Amino acid sequence: MEEFEVEFDAWAYDLRPGIPPEGIPREQASAGRSYPPGYVDNLLQTARDSGIDMKRPALILNTRKAHEATEFAKDCGELLPFHRAVFSAYWEREENIGDIDILCRVGEECGIDAGGLREALVDGRYASRVDEQIAWARAAGITGVPTFIFDERFALVGAQEYEVFRDVATRVIRSGEQEASRQEG
């Protein structure tokens, strides 16, 4: 969003609680669910149109360590590149982002100290922070991801067109300005 000065943050969500460390086959995870005809093809095409070579990884993984690594990246000032790189590792290269070795390599590629990251992940240094984020999302009633929270006042759910983001951002900023001027007056 180049026309806005965005302070970006990423918080963890546990989309599929209880996934074992080795992951589970996608078919098993999707048992009993079905998408409308053409939904997946459309999704993959939309990704391609955006320059993302999206696959459908065979395994659904436990993302706990990936979220902890994200917190480490945040503290290193490398949140955005690392966040993107983890999505890319899983969805474009089908890598096991539940694996500490993979996360350290991805981190290193983003300029993060791999040794420090490994130590933090083995120690579980960021576990409580991730727990708090997941608990917050549950308490806030968030049931779909991604959910984008604008200035703690508005939630936008799902991957939306840029124009939708711009519209919401503009409205949130305008309503903040109106509120500020009411308080001043």
Partner 1 sequence: MESWVVGYDGDGDVERHSGAVEEASRDKRQLRIREVSDYI
Q: How far apart are the first and last CA of the chain?
A: 31
Residues 74 and 80: their CA atoms lie apart, in Å, by 8
Q: Is 112 in the site for partner 1 (CB under 8 A)?
A: no
Compute and round to an integer the Cα radius of gyration of the chain. 18
Which of 112, 50, 47 is CA-nearest to residue 75?
112
Region binding partner 1 by CB under 8 A among candidate stretches 13-21, 32-40, 44-52, 115-123: 13-21
Identify which of residues 10 and 76 has a Cβ nearer to partner 1 in the complex. Answer: 10
CA distances in angstroms from 12 to 104, 126, 131, 135, listed in the order given: 18, 11, 8, 9
Q: Which residue has the tokens 């460390």?
A: 21
Identify which of residues 3 and 27 has a Cβ nearer to partner 1 in the complex. Answer: 3
Name which of residues 92 to 111 contact partner 1 (CB under 8 A): 97
Shortest CB 36 distance to partner 1, Å = 21
Identify which of residues 6 and 37 has a Cβ nearer to partner 1 in the complex. Answer: 6
Q: Is 87 in the site for partner 1 (CB under 8 A)?
A: yes
Identify which of residues 37 and 181 has a Cβ nearer to partner 1 in the complex. Answer: 181
Name which of residues 49 to 78 contact partner 1 (CB under 8 A): 60-61, 63, 66-67
Kind and range of the H or E run holding 52: none
Identify which of residues 12 and 120 has a Cβ nearer to partner 1 in the complex. Answer: 12
Which of 130, 19, 112, 123 is CA-nearest to residue 67?
130
Structure tokens, 93: 């290269």
Contact residues: partner 1, CB under 8 A: 1, 3-16, 60-61, 63, 66-67, 83, 86-87, 90, 97, 133, 137, 142, 145-152, 169, 172-173
